[in-house]
Amino acid sequence: MCGILGQIQLSDKIDESIFTNMLLSLSHRGPDHAGIKLSENKQLAFGHTRLSFIDLSDSGTQPMCDSDKQIWLTFNGEIYNYLELKNELESRYAFQTNTDTEVIIAAYKVWGIDSLSKLKGMFAFGLYDVQLQKVFLVRDRFGIKPLYYYNNGNELIFASELKAILASGKIVKNINYSAFADYFVYRYIPSPKTIWQEINKVAPATFIEINAQTLKQKEREYWTINQANFSVSNDLLIQEIDQILQTAVKEHTRADVPIGSFLSGGYDSSALVNYMKKLGQIPETFSIGFENWEKSEDQFAEIVAKHLNVNNTAICADEKSLNWIDKMAEVYDEPIADISIIPTYMVSKLARTKVKAVLSGEGADEIFAGYTWQHDFMENPTQNWLNRLLGRKTETVSFYAQAMAMGWFDANELKLMLHPRIHKYIEKDVHWFYRKHFLPNLSKLKSIQYLDLKCFMGELVLTKIDRASMANSLEVRVPFLDHTLFEKVFSLAESNYFKPTQTKFLLFENIKNYLPKSILNRKKQGFVGPDNYYMNLDFYKKELTNSCLVKYDIIKQEYIDQLLKETYNWKLWKILIMEKWFKHWIDEQ
């Protein structure tokens, strides 16, 4: 995994020392090597920090160009089908390296930007076509890898993380208060917004084409999932899913260094380790648990590790580990209130002591319908008549917003919390992002799955995984996010893969003969901790005393005081995360 950076200035030359400092802010994403390429007129620069996995020689360093110096590329990610693409392209392009990076260049030279449809993997990259005088900013289909940009019409900066753009000194750190309010609704800041007024995110499955001479830009979504409703025999379907997963794991473990795996003892991570074993690999596995908790995942992970005969290293979080919260504002750049941000950081730090990359099970619940809210939605006896009464769109979005909230904020609640000067920034429809990604043409379950894909996984889960792992120079690979798997399942009738009596039916059928019954019969559990880990009111009272958010007339003190009188309210976690972010990026600067 890597860090990428680029800059174009139309009227001035780029200051190389500042650009170098910007790149240094991404060194955690790529500690193995750093490189810069500057145009002759010094008005365009690409930078790259490398965490090397394929072709460890210097020939794999970036930024990379073709032999004619007409295509520049700075690339973060992995192209898992690069060997297959290379075989297809060898008759039309003279390869100089064994990297997947050069395969992107070759594919672009042969097929143009339409080559994106051929790439299988996780990626964010900047590509400069000298002849066309165009820069393309590209993000993978699911948003596994991040990409931010600033474009004021005279200058363009893009980077893997916000901190690199801020390091330019060009950005006035004005909070986007619309995004600020959104955070309390969603637990994250939805694309294309960021916490800063002048910086945006490239959305998943999207590329932005920028004229390098004028910086005018246009955006295009290059991948969507088409729904069908085919019925397939269970036996044939189970075999096909097995083959897709086996291929995905094989491709995701291509590297010139060992690949490990996270292991929670649930279906998803256990399945990945099982597939690795079937492929002849013996991975190191890593787990996190919580002290004095009967549901602690490390104990289930150990059962799986012993059964599959792999080594497992575990760490346990306790109340002292909450002190990591002060580090999270720096790690995540933007406020993100997923409750597992600290455990994810801790297990990533643990894994990096032994390996440079791990597999992880993100995406399995989305595609195999493993989330509790998906089942609740399907089993809701009032759903059908509410659809007729209220209209499908209203009811589905309302249901989903409630399921995702973890501390409910609507416009009225935001006004109770926020200082009156902030009220004008609150969106009229606070659930605009859910509504944007609700597709009424999809079937009932798939509409929720698609919302999970775009609004939960793409914005919250994958952001958490990327920042926590890359802060520790660890690459996380997610085989379930193989787009061919999603396309296959979305082509099926829901009855083919959703069974009310068996969670994640298609995955279960492919692991039931390989894992212990105690694991197969284990009730679904998200990546959470015990309630008392998050529900210590004394901790919140201490942390929110003399709040910066209150001092700057953003949040009302009486609102915080009222929450602290309750037994517990998840709104406190959201406020605390924002408090820590604000203190780090605004108050202490």
pLDDT of residue 288: 93
Q: Cα separation of 277 and 269, whole Å? A: 13
pLDDT band at 566 (very low <50, low <70, confident <90, very high): confident
**Percent of the chain scoring above 90 in pLDDT:** 85
Q: Cα separation of 464 and 331, whole Å? A: 10
For residue 369, the one-letter residue type is A
How many other CB atoms sit within 10 Å of the CB of residue 391? Answer: 11
- The answer to whether the CB of 163 falls within 8 A of the CB of 333 is yes
Q: Cα separation of 277 and 308, whole Å? A: 8
Longest dimension (CA), the chain: 71
pLDDT of residue 272: 98
Mean pLDDT value across residues 62-69: 94
Reported as type and span, the H/E element at residue 589 is none
pLDDT of residue 394: 46
β partners of residue 72: 65, 128
Who contacts 89 (Cβ-Cβ below 8 Å, separation ≥6)?
95, 103, 106, 107, 110
Who contacts 270 (Cβ-Cβ below 8 Å, separation ≥6)?
263, 264, 304, 308, 511, 515, 519
The structure tokens 């700057």 sit at 552
In the residue annotation, 548 being an active-site residue is answered as no
Per-residue pLDDT tens for 433-458? Answer: 999 999 999 999 999 999 999 999 99
Q: Cα separation of 475 and 461, whole Å? A: 15
- The answer to whether the CB of 508 falls within 8 A of the CB of 267 is yes
pTM of the model: 0.94
DSSP labels, 139-164: E-SS--S--EEEE-SSEEEEESSHHH
Per-residue pLDDT tens for 394-420? Answer: 489 999 999 999 999 999 999 999 999
SS3 of residue 442 by DSSP:
coil
pLDDT of residue 383: 52
Alpha carbon 408 to chain centroid, angstroms: 23
Q: Check whether 551 has a pLDDT greater than 50.
A: yes
Q: Cα separation of 360 and 525, whole Å? A: 16
pLDDT of residue 61: 85
Per-residue pLDDT tens for 328-345? Answer: 999 999 999 999 999 999
Angle, to 10 degrees, between the axis of helix 325-332 and the axis of helix 341-351? 80
Tokens matching residue 260: 């490990």
pLDDT band at 379 (very low <50, low <70, confident <90, very high): confident
Q: Cα separation of 499 and 505, whole Å? A: 6
Q: Cα separation of 377 and 387, whole Å? A: 12
pLDDT of residue 295: 79
- The answer to whether the CB of 292 falls within 8 A of the CB of 532 is no
Per-residue pLDDT tens for 181-226? Answer: 999 999 999 999 999 999 999 999 999 999 999 999 999 999 999 8
- The answer to whether the CB of 116 falls within 8 A of the CB of 207 is yes
SS3 of residue 433 by DSSP:
helix
pLDDT of residue 1: 63
In 3D, which of 509, 401, 492 has the Cα closest to residue 446? 492
pLDDT of residue 388: 46
In 3D, which of 375, 504, 524 has the Cα closest to residue 444? 375
Please provide the average confidence, as pLDDT, over all residues in the chain. 93
SS3 of residue 286 by DSSP:
strand
Q: Check whether 527 has a pLDDT greater than 70.
A: no
Of 2, 65, 316, 455, the active-site residue reads 2
Mean pLDDT value across residues 264-286: 96
Per-residue pLDDT tens for 78-134? Answer: 999 999 999 999 999 999 999 999 999 999 999 999 999 999 999 999 999 999 999
Q: Cα separation of 352 and 313, whole Å? A: 11
Q: Cα separation of 30 and 124, whole Å? A: 14
Domains defined for the chain, CATH in brackets = 2-221 (3.60.20.10), 234-370+460-520 (3.40.50.620), 535-589 (no CATH)
Alpha carbon 442 to chain centroid, angstroms: 24
pLDDT of residue 393: 46
- The answer to whether the CB of 286 falls within 8 A of the CB of 262 is yes
DSSP labels, 324-341: GHHHHHHHHSS----TTH
Cis amide bond preceding 63, omega within 30: yes
Q: Check whether 17 has a pLDDT greater than 50.
A: yes
DSSP labels, 35-92: EEEE-TTSSEEEEEEE---S--SGGG-SSEE-TTS-EEEEEEEEETTHHHHHHHHTTT
Who contacts 64 (Cβ-Cβ below 8 Å, separation ≥6)?
72, 73, 74, 75, 97, 99, 101, 102, 105
SS3 of residue 243 by DSSP:
helix
Q: Cα separation of 306 and 285, whole Å? A: 11
β partners of residue 74: 126
Q: Cα separation of 421 and 426, whole Å? A: 11
